[in-house]
Amino acid sequence: MDIGLDGGFSEPVRQAQSSFRAIMDALANPGTVQKFADPAPAHGPLSGELVSTLLTLSDQDTSIWVSETLRQTAGVEGFVAFHTGAPIVNETGHAVFAFAGAARELPSLDAFNLGTQEYPDRSTTIVLGVTAFAGGDEMVIRGPGIKDQRKISPVGLPTDFVAQWAANRELFPRGVDLLLVGDGAVMGLPRSTRIAEGH
């Protein structure tokens, strides 16, 4: 029986460090595509990009939520337990990180931990698998880490994403952060980013 022991990083320290660097660069430069230098292999429904992010950010002290679709797949919970030790929580509001392979697996952004005024950094960071980083509806983003503005068009966001994000942005300094992963790379959209539909 597959209990999730295979897969993961072949060189955990080096790969986690390079993946962490890509994730931090993505959050520091919102809307840019940062390649994972040496991503982990996919594990069942977990894409290589989801696996790389999961292994880099999660540990036994980090509560995570994984979508029902991922969690119902044999081997996923065993994989998470063996490779990270991270406790999987049922309630989105208790998650430090949340993982979903597609937008349809994701509840609304405000279902997650939005942090508090005193501890805004305790909010959830959502990791969402996307089909592509270009080719979707164009959006214009502004904010810290962006000179003037930047245009992005990822494929695979929730249909009402711009409205959901506007509500999230209004909560600042509270609110969730978002990591989009796919195509061997990651794109960061921190809560400080303003997003509008492109024209």
pLDDT tier for residue 5 given thresholds of 50, 70 and 90: low
Instruction: Collapse the DSSP code of 37 into the 3-class scheme (helix H, G, I; strand E, B; otherwise coil) and give the result.
Output: coil
**The two three-digit tokens of residue 179, written as one number:** 């990591």
- Domains (range + CATH), the chain: 12-197 (3.40.50.11310)
Which residues partner with 83 through β-bridges? none
Q: Of 49, 25, 63, give the one whose Cα is nearest residue 183.
A: 49
pLDDT digits (tens, 9 = 90+) for 10-42: 888 899 999 999 999 999 999 999 999 999 999
pLDDT tier for residue 167 given thresholds of 50, 70 and 90: very high
Q: What is the pLDDT of residue 2?
A: 46
Residue type, 48: G
pLDDT tier for residue 8 given thresholds of 50, 70 and 90: confident
pLDDT digits (tens, 9 = 90+) for 49-68: 999 999 999 999 999 999 99
- Rounded to whole angstroms, the Cα distance separating 111 from 57 reads 21
pLDDT digits (tens, 9 = 90+) for 107-140: 999 999 999 999 999 999 999 999 999 999 999 9
pLDDT digits (tens, 9 = 90+) for 183-192: 999 999 999 9
**The two three-digit tokens of residue 147, written as one number:** 């000179």
Q: Which residues, 6 or more positions from 193, have their beta carbon under 8 angstroms from its beta carbon? A: 30, 31, 141, 142, 143, 144, 146, 169
CA angle, 157 then 190 then 154, to 5°: 25
Peptide bond into 173 cis (omega under 30): yes
Q: Is-contact 67 106, C-beta < 8 A? A: yes
Tell whether pTM > 0.85.
yes
